[in-house]
Structure 1
Amino acid sequence: MAPTKGRIPLDADGRFSGYASVFNRRDDGGDVVMPGAFARSLARRRNRIRMLFQHDPKEPVGIWDSLVEDGHGLFVAGHLVPGVERADALRRLIGEGALDGLSIGFRTVRATKANGLRQLWQIDLYEISIVTFPMLEDARIARPDLATGAAIAAATQSIRN
């Protein structure tokens, strides 16, 4: 059966991708992540940024294989760990389109206020979660057709590094 519009096909390894953050967009808490905000953190923590479920440190569910800041935001690609009960459930939920939110867990390093919004210029990223309700509406696991351009941007960026 062909996937419907809402479904997000995962490969056999449970791989998926999407934007964990999008630049210059206001989230529900009044924060706006600015371009370049992740650069130092990614350079320092690249292999230690955890994939959690609902920001719960007791719920690691996978591994982030790629984290790239591009012109649009923080593009991420990762995979769910097979045999982890929650990860197996997430694979089914994501695959059916029932769950597609992403959310960042971070500590603010440098921010300013402008027009009642907090502009985040530098953050210390420590986890990215799969969530039911993301604070930033556009922080989503992407459908494959939407992720193609981002994947090309991510690959280009990693070649430059």
Structure 2
Amino acid sequence: MGVHIAQDVTPDGTFSGYASLFEVPDLGGDIIQRGAFAASLGRRGAGRVRMLWQHDAAQPLGQWLDIREDARGLRVRGKLNLAVQRARELQALMAQKAVDGLSIGFHAVRASRDGRNGLRRLLHVDLWEISLVTFPMQPAARVMDTRGDRALEQGLLASIRRMSGALQGAASG
């Protein structure tokens, strides 16, 4: 079973991936709990969550067709608006695997902080936008081929190793 990151970008600009993963610390020390997006998605739906480039509100790229929580995280399917020059550029970069990151823009409605390790657990978030990015805060949040999960597993392991190293450094320092 092969994995082809960003190979899922179709000629019409449709792609899918994970914008966020549950129970995995990101590089900023946040952990998203399962169910954290449910209320926001129930109110807003996929069509009203913006698709941006690098979280820049002046650079919309297209539309999210489907956003849903599954066992792993926030699964997304979107379509680039190929009438927009930047979207055409990104389609080419995604096909080349030069850009494959996804990142969420949100407001933390309810969160708690773990006093032992300093991580913030996001319990309820208001999801505003999901961006295509060069470097995602959640390393495994990627445009990915649905035929395989190896890239997701590798991203998860890399994220866990980085957070583990940071926590060990904080505990010993």
Instruction: Name 1:60's counterpart in structure 2.
Output: 60
Partner SS, residue 21 of structure 1 = strand
What percentage of aligned pairs have identical amino acids?
A: 49
Given that 1:108 and 1:122 are in contact with CA atoms closer than 8 Å, whether structure 2 keeps it comes out as: yes
Give 1:43-122 correspondences, 5 Å limit. 43-46=42-45, 47-114=47-114, 115-122=117-124
Given that 1:81 and 1:87 are in contact with CA atoms closer than 8 Å, whether structure 2 keeps it comes out as: yes
Going from structure 1 to structure 2, the CA distance change for 1:67 and 1:107 (only over 3 Å counts) comes to same
- Distance in structure 1 (CA, Å) of the matches to 2:80 and 2:102: 14
Going from structure 1 to structure 2, the CA distance change for 1:33 and 1:116 (only over 3 Å counts) comes to same
Instruction: Name 2:138's counterpart in structure 1.
Output: 136
Unaligned runs of at least 5 residues, structure 2: 150-173
Q: Give the AA of the match of 1:29.
A: G
- Distance in structure 2 (CA, Å) of the matches to 1:40 and 1:5: 33
Deviations 1:57-109 (A, max 9, x none): 00000100000101110000011001200000000000111100000000000
Unaligned runs of at least 5 residues, structure 1: 148-161
Q: TM-score, normalization: structure 2? A: 0.80
- Distance in structure 2 (CA, Å) of the matches to 1:6 and 1:128: 18
- Distance in structure 1 (CA, Å) of the matches to 2:69 and 2:51: 17
Q: Hey, which bits of structure 1, 4+ residues long, moved more than 6 A?
A: none
Instruction: Name 1:153's counterpart in structure 2.
Output: none
**Alpha-carbon shift at residue 6 of structure 1 (Å):** 5.4
Q: Give the AA of the match of 2:21.
A: V
**Alpha-carbon shift at residue 12 of structure 1 (Å):** 2.3
Superposed CA RMSD in Å reads 1.5
**Alpha-carbon shift at residue 9 of structure 1 (Å):** 3.9
Partner SS, residue 11 of structure 1 = coil
Q: TM-score, normalization: structure 1? A: 0.85
